[in-house]
Amino acid sequence: MKNKVVIMVPYPAQGHVTPMLNLASALSHLGLSPVVVTPEFIHHTIVQTTHNITCMSIPDGLDEETPRDFFAVEFAMENNMPMHLDRLVRKLINNSDEVAFMVMDLLASWALKVGDDCGVRVVGYWPVMFVAYQLIAAIPEMFSLGIISETGIPQNEGPIYLGYDQPPLTTQDLPWLIGDLASRRSRFKFWTRTLARTRSLSHILVNTFPEEHRIELISNLQKHYYSTSNATIIPVGPLTQHTRYGNPHFPEEEPSCLDWLDQQSERSVVYISFGTWVSPIGKEKVRNLAIALESTKYPFIWVLGPKWRDGLPKGYVERMMDRGRVVSWAPQSKVLQHAAVGCYLTHCGWNSTIEAIQSKVSLLCYPIAGDQFVNCDYIVNIWRIGIRMDDFGEENVHRSLQKVMEDMEMEQRLVKMNQRVFGMETSLRVTTNLTNFVDNYTS
C-alpha cells in the first residue's frame, strides 16, 4: 500500500494547533500519514511524533527577542516561512510514495501558494465555529450595505444577518476589532487577504458539529448570497472524541491541582482560564477579579501566567491556599471533567467552549478577542448554557457566579447540548463526512 502523506499547516497558536492535531489523528485512523508543520517557536511545545502523526518545524526567521504576537507572526508567515515550507514540501514529495493533499488553516492562507507551486492540492480548514466563517465571508456584503467602511471600521450598530435561520450578530462581534484604530485596520487587511486567497478552495473542513444551525443547508445558501467562495463545506468536528491524544503536550507544571480538586465538594469549584494566545485581561482587571473571588464562598482554580501575577494583591496566592489555587498551567480537559468543577469562567475560545460542553460544565463568559464574541452570543443567547459578565466588580461577580452555579435548568440544557455535539448520531455523521471526503479526494 502506498504511503499517502497529508501535509497539515495550522496557524501557529495553541488554539489552532490543538484541533489540527486532532484532525491529523482522525486522518491517521483512515490510513493517511499526517505531517503537521509549525514554526520552531511553537514546535517545541508539542510532541515530535504522536503515534502516527509526525510533527516537523520550519524557521520563522524572527529574532529570538521578538515576541511572537499577532503582527510578528503575520510578518513571518508572509515574508519568511513560505520558502522554508516550499523546501520541506518538495522534500516530502521526493521522499514519499505520494503526497495526497495539504490541509491549510484558513488563517495560514500564505501556505496556499506554496501548495500550488509544488503541485499539491490544498484543502481549507476552519478550526472554529462555522458562523464565524460566515462573518468573514460576509465582508463584501457588509461593505456594500454600509455596515463597515473599506478599512473594516463599523459605520453603525445595526444587525448583521448571515443567512437562512441565523440569529443576527452585531458589529461588536467582528473579529478584527482589537486594539487601537491602526491595529484594527491591519487585522481587517489580514482577513480580507485571507478571504481573497481562499476563494479558490474547492473544499473547507470545519471543526464544528453538523447540526450547527443546519450547516450543510446554510453553506449552500452561502454560495448564493456571497460570491466569495464556492467551496464545499464539510463539518468534521468537534474531533476531540476521535483522538486518544487529547491536547498537545504543553508542559504539565502543576498536576497537583487535580489532587486538590479531589478534596473539594461536587460541583463547588470555579475554574478560570482566559486562554494562551491573547493577553488575558490586564493587571487592573486581574486585581478586581482576585478581590471578587476572595470575597465569594466558592473555591477556585485560576490559570494565570507569571507575568500577569503582578496584578494580584500582595500575598494573594499564599492567603488563598486554603480555598483557591493560582497556577501557571493546568490540564484543562481533566480539570473540566472533574466532578468538583461546577463553573468555567472563560474567554469563550472554541476549543474551551467545546471542552466545557463535553464535560457538561456551565460557562461564565468574558470574551476578549476574535471569534470569542460570536461564541459567547451562542453560549448565552442560543444554547443558553452560560451567562456573560461585562466587568469584575464584586457584586457582579458574586451575582453571576451564584446564578450559573445554581441554575438547574442550565444543567439540563448542557446535557442536551452534550448529546447534540457528542452523541452517537453526530459522531456517525462526522465519521461518514470525513471518510467520504478522504475516499473521494484520494481515489
Distance CA 287, CA 295 (A): 13
For position 278, what pLDDT does the model report?
A: 59
Q: How confident is the model at residue 83 (pLDDT cuts 50, 70, 90)?
A: very high
pLDDT tens-digit map of 88-118: 999 999 988 789 999 999 999 999 999 999 9
Q: Tell which residue, 87, 105, 144, 143, has the closest CA to residue 18.
A: 105
* Contact between residue 368 and residue 426 where contact means Cβ atoms under 8 Å apart: no
Task: Please give the average per-residue pLDDT across 275-301, as a whole number.
Answer: 86
* Contact between residue 250 and residue 45 where contact means Cβ atoms under 8 Å apart: yes
Instruction: Name the percent of the chain lying above pLDDT 70.
Output: 88
For position 41, what pLDDT does the model report?
A: 87
Grid cell 502543576 is found at 254
First to last CA, the chain: 13
Q: What is the bridge-based pairing of β-strands 232-235 and 300-303?
A: unpaired
For position 397, what pLDDT does the model report?
A: 94
| 424 SS3 class | helix
pLDDT tens-digit map of 393-405: 999 999 999 999 9
Domains of the chain: 4-246+423-442 (3.40.50.2000), 256-406 (3.40.50.2000)
Q: Tell which residue, 131, 208, 210, has the closest CA to residue 378.
A: 131
Has residue 189 got a pLDDT over 90?
A: yes
Q: Which three cell numbers stand for residue 25?
A: 489523528
For position 306, what pLDDT does the model report?
A: 83
Helix (H) or strand (E) holding 196: helix 181-198
Has residue 282 got a pLDDT over 60?
A: yes
The sheet carrying 4-9 orders its strands as 49-50, 53-58, 33-39, 4-9, 98-105, 122-126, 203-206, 232-235
Distance CA 340, CA 404 (A): 15
Task: Please give the average per-residue pLDDT across 69-78, as a whole number.
Answer: 94
For position 246, what pLDDT does the model report?
A: 38
Task: Please give the average per-residue pLDDT across 304-311, as a whole number.
Answer: 85
Grid cell 444554547 is found at 383
Spatial CB neighbours of 180, under 8 Å, sequence gap ≥ 6: none
Has residue 49 got a pLDDT over 90?
A: no
pLDDT tens-digit map of 22-33: 999 999 999 999
Q: How confident is the model at residue 248 (pLDDT cuts 50, 70, 90)?
A: very low
Q: What are phi and psi of 272, to 5 degrees?
A: -125, 125
pLDDT tens-digit map of 158-184: 778 776 556 678 888 898 988 899 999
Spatial CB neighbours of 314, under 8 Å, sequence gap ≥ 6: none
Q: Is the dihedral of CA 27, 251, 353, 132 positive or negative?
A: negative
Residue 64 burial (CB count, 10 A): 5
Respond yes or no on whether the N-terminal peptide bond of residue 248 is cis (omega within 30° of 0): no
Q: How confident is the model at residue 224 (pLDDT cuts 50, 70, 90)?
A: very low
Q: How confident is the model at residue 229 (pLDDT cuts 50, 70, 90)?
A: low
**Choice between 240 and 94, residue whose per-residue pLDDT is larger:** 94
For position 280, what pLDDT does the model report?
A: 66
Q: Where are the beta strands (DSSP E) in 122-190?
A: 122-126, 159-160, 169-170
Q: How confident is the model at residue 316 (pLDDT cuts 50, 70, 90)?
A: very high
Whole-model pTM: value is: 0.89
Q: Across all residues in the chain, what is the average pLDDT?
A: 87
Distance CA 359, CA 63 (A): 41
pLDDT tens-digit map of 408-438: 999 999 999 999 999 898 889 899 999 999 9
Q: How many CA atoms lie within 13 A of 166 on its CB side?
A: 23
Distance CA 339, CA 382 (A): 26
* Contact between residue 58 and residue 84 where contact means Cβ atoms under 8 Å apart: yes
**Choice between 324 and 216, residue whose per-residue pLDDT is larger:** 324
Has residue 81 got a pLDDT over 50?
A: yes
pLDDT tens-digit map of 339-393: 999 999 999 999 999 999 999 999 999 998 888 999 999 999 999 999 999 899 9
